[in-house]
Amino acid sequence: MLEKIRQVERVFKQLDKETLKFSKQSSLKCLTNCNLCCMKKGLEANVLEFLPLAWYLVKNNLHEEALDLLETNPEYCINLAKTQIQGVTAGCSVYNHRGLICRLFGSSGVRDKHGKLSVYTCTHMKAEFPEAFKQSMERINSGMNIPVVTDFYYQIYYIDPQMANDYNPINVSIRKAIEKVAYYCANKPVRKPKAKQNLQQQNDA
Ligand code: SF4
Ligand code: SF4
């Protein structure tokens, strides 16, 4: 389990590097304080992409609180900041531990059946940065690097195909990931300190 979490985190790290580079080169970036894509109806994710978040919550003993919140069937992702500022949600409360979909949307590319790339982004960014968007669409098809959605989904698929294929509404996947990690932590074998192990072996001999 731990190794899988580390592997997913390594994929995220690589993706973050590539999206940052693309953002700088393209001048496309999210609108200030925007989180409209997090509030999209029917937002889905797989269980694997939320293992790092689950690990963070369990390690910090925040998972029970998260599970209680999930029990209330909230309309949006539970990680949209619980506090609201003037009736507006204040953003992702677990930004460093967000899922793959959260990292990809806005600054990545998708291929059509002819292999042509398009920027995978929202109408708000297109409207705010029309020229940057137009130029990016051209440049990504003539050599500019952009992280490609399917490449990153393949990478995590090979870490654990079953969890990577377990798609659900985002909160269901978060709950499943928390349950898996909490179960793992509650049942993982406790390693005895070396000195004790040696003593035990001498006594057993
Ligand atoms: S991708 Fe678009 S909708 Fe989502 S946060 Fe960025 S600007 Fe907002
Ligand atoms: S984890 Fe964060 S970025 Fe992802 S959908 Fe939820 S609130 Fe948005």
* Residue 189 in this model has a pLDDT that exceeds 90: no
* Residue 42 in this model has a pLDDT that exceeds 90: no
Distance from residue 177's CA to the centre of ligand 1 (Å): 25
Going by pLDDT thresholds of 50, 70 and 90, the confidence category of residue 205 is low
Please state whether beta strands 117-120 and 167-169 pair in parallel, antiparallel, or not at all (unpaired): unpaired
pLDDT value of residue 75: 84
Start-end of H helices in 47-169: 51-59, 63-71, 100-104, 123-128, 130-139, 149-157, 161-164
**Which amino acid makes up residue 162?**
Q
- Residues of the chain with pLDDT > 90, as a percent, come to 56
**Domain of 113?**
2-204
Count: domains in the chain:
1
Show the ligand 2 pocket: residues with CB < 6 angstroms. 38, 77, 79-80, 92, 94, 98-99, 102, 170
Question: Could you read off the pLDDT of 73-115 as tens digits, one per residue?
Answer: 888 898 887 555 556 666 888 999 999 999 998 889 999 988 8
Question: Could you read off the pLDDT of 124-180 as tens digits, one per residue?
Answer: 989 999 999 899 899 999 988 999 999 999 999 999 999 999 999 999 999 999 999
Nearest residue (CA) to ligand 1, atom 8:
34
For residue 109, the surrounding DSSP H or E stretch is: strand 108-111
Q: Which ligand is nearest to the CA of 28?
A: 1
